[in-house]
Structure 1
Amino acid sequence: MKQTVDILGIPFYNVSQNAFVDELFQLAIDEKRRFVVTANPEIVMHAQQDFEFNQIILQADYIVADGIGIVKAAKNIGKPLNGRVTGYDTMLGLLQKANEKKMRIYFIGAKPNVIEKLVEKVQKTYSDIEIVGARDGYFSASESKRIADDIAESKADFVFLALGFPRQEKWIAAHLQDFDKGIFIGVGGSFDVLSGETKRAPKILVKCNLEWLYRILSQPSRWRRALAIPQFMFAMNRQRKQG
């Protein structure tokens, strides 16, 4: 039974980044089906306000801490996590391992030009991976079933969705039963970074846990989303006092 830490009603899997990649990779080798949520404070706060979304992420097989705020919150309540487990690093780790075994990958999300660049980058960097599907995130609800059927037929080992939350999680939950196998994971803006369309924060900022600040400075339009951080901190202080 996996160990979890409860943060505002969300059970975060207590695992290190490398161990998580290894675990998902083995599950894919064993042809299992899993639903992974990479959650930051913004997602946790959205789950407090959106009951449907809350119930969806609680259906996931794994919820991991993609955000230093989650890690700090766990430490503050005396139940420390093993560190961040980000969607981007999980995707990279799985691509590297999938390349060694010539596994099947399916990408969904981002803009048409981004998905095109992503495919080129992956084919160049991970030449033994079989990309069995890649489509942008601009599709209608009526097209979703056709995409799900295509994934099922492709027998993809890993399906990465960069549709943004809550859309990516809702899509996985709605179609998960259509698949016999596959690791399904929402990775937010990771396609933009891996394709080179946007830059990830400099390593020194990542190391200092200031990646969130870099995102706001490089994309000022995100400032409203950043308001979830103080809201999250306030809610966690309340949980700590009650706990």
Structure 2
Amino acid sequence: MHVDNDDGVLRITFDRPDVMNAFSTETAAEFADTVASADPDDHHAVVLTGEGDAFSAGGDIQAMAERREGPQEAYERIGETFGRVVEEMFECPVPIVAKVNGDAVGAGLAIVALSDFAYADEEATFSCAFVRVGLVPDTGGTFLLPQLVGLRTAKRLAFTGEFVSAETAAELDLINEAVATADLDERVAETVDRLRRRPTETIGLMKQAMHENLGRHWSEALDYENLMQVQAYMSDSHEEGVEAFLEGRKPDFD
């Protein structure tokens, strides 16, 4: 993968086009480390995309065939690589935008699901393909996919490994929108520009509260929500937003 860090946007491009940007364990660990470097003081957004014709084909099947390890080794490897991807994406205080330039399969689909926004080329297809190689969905697939598309649809996608179109993915709420190829860059740029005008610190608190509250009892969720709101009340972003409103001007959250 290669990384660009310009104009307050951390751009990560999966760069193994010869294998449809499949993830080795090393790539997964590097990706997690890079997402962890996103900082609301320096970045307005993280943008993910793939080099060539695919977003990501998921785990590297060739590497799976060559791997020799016991259950404990496998458990530790998964937790330290794809498990860390979930952890860092879930806890990233900067909004993550997936620019799905081509097919997203297996862990590639899970990374799209973990992103805060996802726009896909209308020609892209999606598959929760783990079952095709006798695996359970990982990279958060078993708990996040049902949250996005509903339990029955998640079971259908996971149990069959079927491919769905970008249009269907949008209808299922797996992505925000299917976009014509020529318009994909502009659509992502519009979202990034909109995020640039919002207080990143506050968005990070929103994201933290939403993710922490998944599955919580409503009373615990409300208490955590109040805790995040107190942090927001004390922030410079809140002070600037109030002053701008009272002065009749647009806020400058930078």
Common topology (TM > 0.5)? no
Higher relative contact order (CA 8 A, sep 6+): 1
TM-score calculated relative to the size of structure 1: 0.30
TM-score calculated relative to the size of structure 2: 0.29
